[in-house]
Copies of this chain bind each other. A is one copy, B any other.
Amino acid sequence: MQTVLLMSAPVAGNGGGRDPRLLEGLFSNLPLFRDIPQRSIAHVAGQSRTQRIKRGAALCRKGERLPGVIAMAYGSLKLALRRTGGDEKVVRFLGPNETFGEASILLDRPCPVDVVALADSMLGVIPAAPLQRLLENDCTFARNLVRILGARFLDLLGEIEATVQQNGVQRLAHYLDSLAEPNGDPDTWIVHLPANKTTIAARLGVTKETMSRLLRELTNRELISVSRREILIRDRARLAQLAG
């Protein structure tokens, strides 16, 4: 642990600050900077800043300019599209060591989604300029970006596939299956939902009411049991089968 003496320089009241050490450590573990020389990473970190953001606050709204590529240190964010009627479709959750905004920043396009904190969070903000320069000068960085953007593209296509060819129950079953983690008991699995049920509903493209009914449906079939954000998978095989 760093002492207060080493802690970051002036932190603005708005939650922004500088802390090149911390940023360099954060960036070094990102796929974005894989195999990039440490001095390049340090240089980018020197141009970047940290930002704290409170649960419920928006880092950026759809259509605004993103301040830079976002690299999560801790907490969690949601990326969401607004829907008619005030509700939303969550496109992705963002947790520690994940990044967002590469495409928007490098193509100089406005932010395609709302970016909102689900919990008090801290993240690094890497402005466009040093990334553009790195893209010009370091082929490894360009190749990292090709991998990242390619994977994002294919993931998104997978999302479309799921929403287009599966109904609510199937999507929920698949989602739960994808989050299943081993339990003490070898027969059952546990899922800890990464957000509240309303937000998970938005992630699955249904309303909270529908989500509630879907969970009850699976509970009635004795496939799962629900307790707050903890879901016990009682019959993973049948659940997976349901997912298609």
**Which A residues are within 8 Å of any B CB, using their own CB?**
81-84, 89, 91, 102-104, 106-107, 109, 112-113, 135-136, 139, 142-143, 145-147, 149-154, 156-161, 164-166, 205
Contact = CB atoms under 8 A, between A and B. Distances in A.
B161 A81 contact: yes
A168 to B, nearest CB: 14
A81, A102, A106, A109: residue with the most chain B Cβ atoms closer than 10 Å:
A81
Complex A-B, nearest 4 residue pairs according to Cβ-Cβ distance, in ascending order: A142-B142, A103-B150, A149-B149, A139-B139
A39 B74 CA distance: 48
A153 B89 CA distance: 17
A29 B158 CA distance: 30
Contacts of A136: 139, 143
Contacts of A158: 112
Contact of A146 (B84, B142, B156): B142
A104 B154 contact: yes
Query: Can you tell how many copies of this chain the complex includes?
Result: 2
A117 to B, nearest CB: 21
B160 A91 contact: yes
A104, A139, A159: residue with the most chain B Cβ atoms closer than 10 Å:
A139
A135, A146, A152, A205: residue with the most chain B Cβ atoms closer than 10 Å:
A146
Contacts of A149: 103, 146, 149-150, 153
Contact of A89 (B84, B147, B165): B165
Contact of A164 (B81, B109, B150, B153): B81
A144 B65 CA distance: 23
A112, A135, A142, A166: residue with the most chain B Cβ atoms closer than 10 Å:
A142
Given A164-B81, A165-B84, A143 B135 contact: yes
B107 A205 contact: no
A135 B205 CA distance: 37
